[in-house]
Amino acid sequence: YDKEGDAHFDTISAFIKSLRGSDPDAALYWLAKMVYAGEDPRFIFRRMLILASEDVGLADPQAVVVTNACAEAFDRVGMPEGRYHLAQAVLYLATAPKSNSIMGFFDALAAVENENVASIPTHLKDANRDKKGFGHGASYLYPHAYRDHWVEQQYLPKSLQGQLFYQPSTQGYEYQIATQVARRREAQLAAIVEGIGVARVEVMTYGTVDRADERWLQRTLSQVSTQLASVRERIFTFAQLQRHHLVLDLNAATGLLTWEAIRQVPEGGVYACVRNSSDANALNELAAALPETMRPIVFTASVAQIPAMLTSLAPNVQFDSIIGRNVLASELDKGLAAQILGQLIPRSVKLILAETVPRHTQRFYRLLPSQNLDAQLYERLVLAEEAIYTDASDPMLNWDADDLRHAFASNGHYVQVIIEQYLTPMHISEHFIKRLFAANPNRPSYAERLAAILTSEEIGIIKSLFTRYLLNQSVNWSSTVAFLNIST
């Protein structure tokens, strides 16, 4: 055994690889060979301390603590009794769950090298120096003021939004971290895709989608993902899934419900219905990282096509729970959609839906200081805006929870409805106001709807009031979600 030659390097290599491979017998053998040959125990401890973070990491955060304690004990005791501490550290590391997720640091380091001019988001800058002149620290959300001491907020530079450096394993203690991180990331992804207002219909009603830079600002000041996580939690509380259950997600979209269902039914299965091929491709791409037996069965179908599609995919499939979020929002005929979904219930225990109700969404006139406005104009604005949500010709906006209850009840189903109201901080930008008052070729904009009652001159005045009182303000945007627990 030449401590300066090949035997030294080859033996320590075999030792480390045995620890990494969780083989305690081989690890003890190579340790014994090094100790017998007179290898410096401090060198062995140094390599084990590296491995405790590199190869065990957060799968067992105590690994580096135990290894370091053994090293300190060895320094105090010395040889020959110190061999007990060497062996204890070896056996702890060899039997510990393994994870190399800490290597994500080097991905971050590479990103820094390639993006060395990325600016720090203003809300993360030091507010003690330049808050007054440059707005540094403004709009920062203090996590401890929110539920679970967490709030959705952008912490990466704008150019790196969506970049993932930490990829937690599912080993040991890190499995708990992995689940927590995944749930938050899924809620953030849904918030990014859907924007402010939670239900896509609430945004699309008033114009085209935001520009990327405005969406970033909106998300920075919002708690949309926190709200989405709350909605998801309520749905699964109703569903009461068991490990062996078979679940159908009626509107998988970003996968907010799909991935949670997969976590809760590891011995069952999940079917995920999406409305377009791009969503299907995105879900399948993400699912590729899962074991094949846990991947969802993704298919594309409208509500009307779901029964026939399921018959072709799995003729005798029987779901234990059917869940969905904003499944009915874009359906023109809510009664027909309820009838179609009702066909699935005889083969299922329950149907759980969470629908954002547009009739009870935020009214803009409530954001304006009525006491500072012309009373007659304000009264006409209230009348015109309320008329938007009672327009019999627009089934996208003129319904509420009672309509959904009646639609399912008329088909012989029992319906339990719970109404939940959410307040989400929202930033009113110049671009957002422009969208409200611009012409929209797809659906009427806010201004075009007001024109049914108000004159063009009155609409012009109201736009100026929006600019005067709401521009660059953060307001509490109210939205209402109806949770429906439907059964036969």
Q: Token digits for 416?
A: 């339990």
Among 80, 98, 116, where does a domain finish?
A: 98
- Together in a domain, 234 and 266: yes
What does 182-227 look like in DSSP terms, one character per residue? HHHHHHHHHHHHH-TTSSHHHHHTTSSPPPHHHHHHHHHT--HHHH
For position 317, which CATH number holds? Answer: 3.40.50.150
What does 6-20 look like in DSSP terms, one character per residue? HHHHHHHHHHHHHHH
- Together in a domain, 307 and 256: yes
Among 98, 126, 146, where does a domain finish?
A: 98
- Together in a domain, 201 and 92: no
The β-bridge relationship of strands 414-427 and 474-487 is: antiparallel
Flag residues of the chain having pLDDT under 50.
132-136, 196-222
d(Cα 19, Cα 390) in Å, to the nearest integer?
69
- Together in a domain, 67 and 129: no
**186 within domain boundaries:** no
Domain interval for residue 155: 102-160
- Together in a domain, 88 and 228: no
**382 within domain boundaries:** no
DSSP state of 136: T
Half-sphere exposure of 309 (CA within 13 A, CB side): 19
Measure CA of the first residue to CA of the last residue in the chain; give whole Å.
77
- Together in a domain, 412 and 315: yes
- Together in a domain, 154 and 11: no
Q: According to the model, what pLDDT value does residue 209 have?
A: 45
Give the CA distances from residue 166 to residues 111, 158, 186, 301, in Å, rounded to whole numbers and listed in that order: 13, 18, 15, 34
Residue 50 Cα to chain centre, angstroms: 33
- Together in a domain, 274 and 322: yes
Indicate the number of domains in the chain.
3
**461 within domain boundaries:** no
Q: According to the model, what pLDDT value does residue 249 have?
A: 96
Given a contact cutoff of 8 angstroms between Cβ atoms, the answer to whether 451 and 459 are in contact is: yes
Q: Could you give the dihedral angle defined by the CA atoms of residues 177, 182, 184 and 190, in that order, rounded to the nearest 10 degrees?
A: 180
Q: According to the model, what pLDDT value does residue 252 have?
A: 92
What's the pTM?
0.67
- Together in a domain, 89 and 22: yes
For position 15, which CATH number holds? Answer: 1.20.272.10
**305 within domain boundaries:** yes
d(Cα 373, Cα 380) in Å, to the nearest integer?
12
Given a contact cutoff of 8 angstroms between Cβ atoms, the answer to whether 344 and 322 are in contact is: yes
DSSP state of 88: H
- Three-state DSSP at 422 gives strand
- Together in a domain, 294 and 346: yes
**453 within domain boundaries:** no
pLDDT tens per residue across span 290-344? 888 889 999 999 999 999 999 999 888 889 999 999 999 888 888 899 999 988 8
Among 118, 138, 160, where does a domain finish?
A: 160
**450 within domain boundaries:** no
What does 38-74 look like in DSSP terms, one character per residue? T--HHHHHHHHHHHIIIIIGGGSTHHHHHHHHHHHHH
**275 within domain boundaries:** yes
Helix axes 306-313, 334-342, angle to 10 degrees: 20
**299 within domain boundaries:** yes
- Together in a domain, 197 and 139: no
- Together in a domain, 338 and 310: yes
pLDDT tens per residue across span 404-445? 999 999 888 899 999 999 887 777 878 888 888 988 777 788
Please report which helix (H) or strand (E) contains residue 326, including its range: none
